[in-house]
Amino acid sequence: MDHRDRKPATRLGHAGRDPQAWRGAVNPPVFHASTVLFDSVAALEEGDRHPFDTFNYGRVGNPTADAFERAMAELEGGYRAVSVSSGLAAITVALLASVKGGDHQLMVDTAYRPTRRFCDTVLAGFGVETTYYDPLIGAGIEELIRPETRALYMESPGSGTFEVQDVPALTAAAKRHGLTTMIDNTWAGSVLFHPLAHGVDISIQAATKYIVGHADAMLGVAIARDKPTFLRLKRMAVMLGNAAGPDDLFLGLRGLRTLEVRLSRHEENALKVARWLEGRPEVARVLFPALPEDPGHALWQRDFSGASGLFGIVLHPVPKAAVAAMLDGLDLFGMGASWGGFESLILPAHPEKLRTATTWDAPGPVLRLHVGLEDPADLVADLDAGFDRLNAAAAGGEGA
Ligand SMILES: *Cc1c(COP(=O)(O)O)cnc(C)c1O
């Protein structure tokens, strides 16, 4: 039976593994290698003819990378995958493999901030024009496609504000015009949403987040739907000199084995915390498509098989110092970039500064929460004490 026909939890246990190749060991070894030796001129030439199917040089590939890439291609239903040194590297490789000077591309307005920055600086400098579009535009994207448009980039749910995109409608419109379509699929951890099944050409994963899952490695991967797309991605990554380190690839492989279990616990905990937050008087809105009240819920339910642990809340207007009083004193929620590890995190978000095609006009501050694997009752108690500090600071501020 082909693993592709099995359920995700089963596939995650077996994808990319080949114990017979490693003398029976369950996991592949970590290959620390730069030079690869050949025993004849004929073997060297044969290697040159198949640069991406054999091991020729450490930067181009090694058996640890191959195991991780085979697992990711299987998980996302792609032809092959390209692993690189970070999620952002996977994004920049995918963009550089899809557009060139004189081209135009369509970028979702709620893209991860460094993705926007890359388009506005490096790609703009190379003569690539970017039009940002409303994440909720759906089939209306067709009106933004020009003769020189080459690529459509999606990210769903959107960074910071969690709008769900109609990926099938967007992709269908893009295909009618021959565009390359790509998506940042990090929120879904490659398990909860399968973009390639909806016609997307390249699925991008910041494996740093849920796949590694323990906040201890940087890793990115781009999964290609077909061979020509794979070759464009792989050649670009090799030309840029971008390769993931073998220890990080090993941590990515290790993370995959527990990914489904961790994601379902993240979802369960996140729903408990989100529902509690919905009932709080300080909270104006919870931005989480897994909740029936969320405007993206219907699309999420149609296309996703579950939710991860990352969502947002909009507070009623309060002074900045009151938010700081809440966050500074939290015990279990850490403050810092990245997410997808076992621990809970919280950060102020500033969506109004990160969009140009749409506006964000909620009057109160936005917080982004990552709900980790701790007991949700303890997380709620931590936030409850935080709201006490927020309210005390807000009342003190008024009196002053
Ligand atoms: C973190 C993140 C990235 C970038 O991943 P790195 O491994 O940190 O470079 C890309 N997209 C999204 C949505 C992210 O949250």
Query: pLDDT tens for residues 78-111?
Result: 999 999 999 999 999 999 999 999 999 999 999 9
pLDDT over 80 (residue 202): yes
Residues with CB under 6 A from ligand 1: 86-88, 112, 159, 184, 186, 206, 208-209, 218, 220, 338
β-pair partners for 249: none
pLDDT over 50 (residue 399): no
| CB proximity list for 296: less than 8 A, separation 6 or greater | 157, 162, 163, 164, 289
Q: Which two tokens stand for residue 101?
A: 């000077």
CA-closest candidate to residue 157, choices 264, 275, 268, 309:
309
Kind of pairing, strands 202-206 and 220-224?
A: antiparallel
Which residue among the candidates 4, 59, 117, 227 is catalytic per the annotation? Answer: 59
Known active-site residue 112? yes
Which residue among the candidates 150, 209, 262, 368 is catalytic per the annotation? Answer: 209
User: Whole-angstrom Cα distance, residue 298 to residue 140?
Assistant: 19
Confidence band for 400, pLDDT divided at 50, 70 and 90: very low
DSSP for 92-161, please give it: HHHHHTT--TT-EEEEETT--HHHHHHIIIIIHHTT-EEEEE-TT-GGGGGGG--TTEEEEEEESSPTTT
Residue 3 gets the label, from left (phi > 0), alpha (psi -120 to 50) or beta, of alpha
336-384: pLDDT as tens digits: 999 999 999 999 999 999 999 999 999 999 999 999 999 999 999 999 9
Query: 238: part of which helix (H) or strand (E)?
Result: helix 227-239
Confidence band for 3, pLDDT divided at 50, 70 and 90: low
β-pair partners for 283: 315
Considering only CA atoms, which residue is closest to atom 1 of ligand 1? 338
| CB proximity list for 66: less than 8 A, separation 6 or greater | none
241-264: pLDDT as tens digits: 999 999 999 999 999 999 999 999
Which atom of ligand 1 approaches the CA of 186 most closely?
A: 13
Mean of pLDDT over the chain: 96
Which atom of ligand 1 approaches the CA of 219 most closely?
A: 7
